[in-house]
Amino acid sequence: MFARFRFQSKRRTRDENDLPDAASLSSIAATAPEQSMNEPEAASPVTSAAKKPKRQAATASEVVVPPYSKWQERWHGICDECFRNAVKCTHYPEQMLRLLIVGHNPSDHAWTSEYKYHLAQLRCDNPSNRMWSLIVGNLHGLSWQGILPPDSPVAIQNAMPYLVGVGFTSIGLEPGNDAAKYGKQTMQRWKNDFFRRLREHTRRVCATSSQQQLLKSERSVKTESCQCSTHGPMLIAFSGKRQFSFLFSPPLKKIEHYGKQTRLPDDWPHECVAQSEVWVLPSSSGRSALTHEQRSAPYRQLAQRFHDLPWPPQNETSNAENVKQE
């Protein structure tokens, strides 16, 4: 399964023309096994970088170094070999995202099972989290056009950033099932680290865009002409009120409504996500006391907005053409 995303032991950087387009998603979803990706025939041993680092007390300005696990953020695609060996994948170009879903922190199950979200219908070890059902638009008898087709397998998460422009991350990169145990100081540290990771993502996307322009143009293009503020995710959706409220100082006591937000923190990284729409969604956890209709409504609205956005981004596809015309 996912043969298109497998790599031989000899790694190479893939040109975007070698990778499948968004039209391949349906065929992948229809043929992929439901629980896991195919493993390479000969898995290489985990490198010394995978050893569990010592935890150290971090201030709000320090980089948060997560403990070792197979769980990874999905800012870009992850190939089978890197996923198998739990190492950072550099084989896919980091491109602009149509949607970035931001959780609170990985659950203990997600930390050990490698995937951000699992199909509750197929796995009984985490039956209360409904996120994947909300993503595919099928929740307890309610159906709608989700962000992904309804038969999409959970393993598609590794290809989603490239195929359809959907990425995953969390405010915190530490495993745990009880969000309430993380206090104000921890949340402040997580917030600063999340903003740092968001800024770094937009810089990498900006660099990718500049490289593509250079390759497609007959003459050189100055990197300075690239504006990182236009390369942030089109939509940033927080899957829960708590992680969004703690972006503010002091934390918000109440968020008036789900959906698109107009109020943002004073230190929000406007310089890199100036054009991003920020959404707040209900938590997908079963601990959230909402009816299925109440929980699914904001996800329906987000999916509709998601499909209204042009993909690939118009500025990404037209930049090279504009350069050639100058």
Average pLDDT over residues 20-36: 46
DSSP state of 74: B
Tell me if 3 is assigned to some domain. Answer: no
* Rounded CA separation 166/278 (Å): 15
Which residue, 80, 236, 96, is CA-closest to 155? 80
Tell me if 37 is assigned to some domain. Answer: no
pLDDT of 59:
47
pLDDT of 272:
84
Two tokens at 269?
Answer: 């990284």
Two tokens at 29?
Answer: 């979803």
Which residue, 150, 171, 169, 148, is CA-closest to 160? 148
Beta-ladder partners of 100: 167, 236
Two tokens at 170?
Answer: 């969390």
pLDDT of 135:
94
Tell me if 286 is assigned to some domain. Answer: yes
Query: Could you check whether the bond before residue 312 is cis, i.e. omega within 30 degrees of 0?
Result: yes
- Mean pLDDT lowest for which of 12-21, 102-111, 159-168, 198-207? 12-21
Two tokens at 243?
Answer: 């992680």
Confidence of residue 56 (pLDDT cuts 50, 70, 90): very low
Give me the domain span that covers residue 82. 69-325
Tell me if 15 is assigned to some domain. Answer: no
pLDDT of 215:
53
Per-residue model confidence as pLDDT tens digits over 250-307: 999 999 999 999 999 999 998 888 889 999 999 987 666 788 899 999 999 999 999 9
Average pLDDT over residues 176-193: 90
pLDDT of 314:
62
Tell me if 260 is assigned to some domain. Answer: yes
Tell me if 106 is assigned to some domain. Answer: yes
Tell me if 174 is assigned to some domain. Answer: yes
pLDDT of 128:
57
Q: Taking the model in full, what pTM does it have?
A: 0.71
* CATH number assigned to the domain comprising residue 245: 3.40.470.10
Per-residue model confidence as pLDDT tens digits over 119-172: 333 333 344 568 889 999 999 889 999 999 998 888 788 888 888 999 999 999
> Would you say residue 194 has pLDDT above 80?
yes
pLDDT of 113:
57
- Count of CB atoms within 10 A of residue 205's CB? 25
Tell me if 266 is assigned to some domain. Answer: yes
Q: How many domains does the chain have?
A: 1
